[in-house]
Amino acid sequence: MLNPIKLESKNFLSSLDTSCEEFIHILDLAKNFKNKDLNIKLKEKVLGLIFDKSSTRTRVSFQVAMSRLGGTTVDLNPTTSQIERGEPIRDTARVLSRYCDVLAIRTFKQNDLEEYAKWSSKPVINALTDLEHPCQALADFMTIKEEFLDFKDVVLTFIGDGNNVANSLILSGALLGVEVRIACPKGYEPNSLLIDKAYEVYKNKNLLKITNDPNTAVLGANVLYTDVWSSMGEENQKDEKEKVFNGFTIDSDLVSKADKDAIILHCLPAYRSKEITDEVFESHKSRIFDQAENRLHAQQALLSCILQ
Ligand code: CP
Ligand code: NVA
């Protein structure tokens, strides 16, 4: 039976906080949890959820994952705790980590997440920041592995905004050696510091391509992935971005240029007829709801490694 290994890093703040081997191990565990081949009970462990932004999938999948592991979750809504009043992160983190065994935090600045991690005596998990969404990337690559069995020769094309989701795909792709192509409008490329980090990690630097042309980026791709054009916190840019992102919708024309067995992914929630057409979203190529389900299994696997 596969047993969870202790991860080298205390925290999971970035996709680069695991090694390639650890990442694959989490995916293997996740598959075992999904197939009900693994039943791990971590008695009385408590996960604290601090979410400064809305969430359906991340919040619920963490709650269910903890419940399946025999633990519980405390939902620390910032509006009903003293967080919104302005209690410093360093105080909140020191207090909450005396009650909880692990914290999952969704917030705006990666620096704030790092501040929590600095002052928390217990592990901290990134449940999404403006910069990264590493738990999403675990589920994404789990879904890709389910489809293609391994990552060899897989080409993943992300079309849209160079946002947190794109950044985590790039970093995880670098760890796993997967070819990642990002197609976004000029000025909306992923974070340049993260691109540099990814190039340092990639053994074959030709495997990461950033382009402004979705039509060439999809040629022969095995996975087409998109996300909203305006992320949470960017609502005021919506009208402007909808003009700039014209031509970056995943529609049947773009899909026809990809590999004939290509699959479609979206982290959700989606705006149909913006970043993806309803036809493609609902097509037989879509693995979007398997991907959403895999958030649960991947996070159960991550927690079982962190909490053992
Ligand atoms: N994909 C994702 O993180 O969804 P939620 O915002 O609903 O958690
Ligand atoms: N990029 C999106 C992802 C939501 C899961 C956002 O940050 O709002």
Residue 110: its H or E element: helix 110-119
pLDDT at 184: 98
Q: List all residues 6 or more positions away from 244 whose beta carbon is below 8 Å from its beta carbon.
A: 185, 187, 188
Q: Are 68 and 304 in contact (CB under 8 A)?
A: no
Instruction: Please indicate, yes or no, if residue 9 is contained in any of the structural domains.
Output: no
Encoding tokens for residue 128? 């999404």
User: What integer is the mean pLDDT of 250-258?
Assistant: 98
Beta strand extents in 59-120 (DSSP E only):
72-75, 102-106
- Indicate if the pLDDT at residue 77 is higher than 90: no
Query: Do 146 and 277 share a domain, yes or no?
Result: yes
Token pair recorded at residue 251: 């529609």
pLDDT, residue 4, reads 95
pLDDT digits (tens, 9 = 90+) for 51-67: 999 999 999 999 999 99
- C-alpha distances (whole Å) from 178 to each of 72, 181, 201, 231, 236 are 35, 10, 12, 25, 34
* Co-location of 34 and 163 in the same domain: no
Nearest atom (ligand 1) to Cα of 292? 1
Q: Is residue 7 part of a domain?
A: no
Q: Would you give the distance in Å from CA 57 to the centre of its chain?
A: 11
Which ligand sits nearest to residue 58's alpha carbon? 1
pLDDT grade, residue 79 (50/70/90)?
Answer: confident
Domain membership flag for residue 5: no
Residue-level pLDDT at 305: 97
Q: Give the tens place of pLDDT for each residue, 138-177.
A: 999 999 999 999 999 999 999 999 999 999 999 999 999 9
Burial, 82: exposed, middle or buried (Cβ in 10 Å; 0-12, 13-18, 19+)? exposed
8-23 tens-digit pLDDT: 999 999 999 999 999 9
Q: Are 175 and 271 contained in the same domain? A: yes
Residue 241 lies in a domain: yes
Residues 6+ apart with CB under 8 A from 79: none
Q: Domain range spanning residue 117?
A: 15-132+295-307
Where are the strands (E) in the chain, listed by range? 46-51, 72-75, 102-106, 124-126, 155-159, 179-183, 208-211, 223-226, 263-266
Ligand 2 mutation target, pool 52, 163, 226, 229, most atoms within 8 A of CB? 163
Residues 224 and 262 in one domain: yes
Residue 8 lies in a domain: no
In a domain, 40, yes or no: yes
The angle at the Cα of 104, spanning 101 to 88, to the nearest 5 degrees, equals 90
91 and 161 share a domain?
no
- Across the range 266-286, mean pLDDT stands at 98
Is-cis flag, bond preceding 190, omega within 30? no
Of 231, 235, 266, 267, the residue with max ligand 2 atoms within 8 A of its CB, to mutate for a pocket test, comes to 231
Indicate if ligand 2 lies below 6 Å from the C-beta of 165.
yes
pTM of the predicted structure, to 2 decimals: 0.98
Q: Is residue 27 part of a domain?
A: yes
The single-letter code of the amino acid at 81 is: S
Active site residues: 106, 133, 136, 227, 267, 295
Q: How confident is the model at residue 1 (pLDDT cuts 50, 70, 90)?
A: confident
CATH number at residue 179: 3.40.50.1370
78/60 same-domain check:
yes
In this prediction, residue 277 has a pLDDT band, given cuts at 50, 70 and 90, of very high
Average the pLDDT over 117-142 and give the result: 98
Same domain for 155 and 279, yes or no, is yes
254 CB neighbour count, 10 Å cutoff: 24
Q: Are residues 68 and 150 in the same domain?
A: no
Helix (H, G, I), strand (E, B) or coil at 100: coil
Q: Which helix (H) or strand (E) holds 61?
A: helix 57-68
Q: How far apart are CA 273 and CA 285, in angstroms?
A: 17
Q: Which of 259, 251, 261 is nearest to 226 (CA)?
A: 251
Q: Which of 54, 57, 165 to mutate to test the pocket of ligand 1 (most atoms within 8 A of CB)?
A: 57
Any domain includes 22: yes
175 and 60 share a domain? no
Cα pseudo-dihedral 113, 118, 120, 123, rounded to 10: 70
Question: Are residues 35 and 164 located together in one domain of the fold?
Answer: no
Q: Which ligand is nearest to the CA of 169?
A: 2
- Residue 231 Cα to ligand 2 midpoint, Å, equals 5
Tell me what the pLDDT averaged over the chain comes to: 97
Of all atoms in ligand 1, which is nearest to the CA of residue 267? Answer: 1
Mean pLDDT confidence for 75-99? 93
Say whether both 70 and 150 belong to one domain: no
pLDDT at 84: 87
Q: How many domains does the chain have?
A: 2
> Do 52 and 106 fall into the same domain?
yes
Q: Burial code of 274-289, b = ≥16 C-beta within 10 A, e = fewer?
A: bbbbeebbeeebbbbe
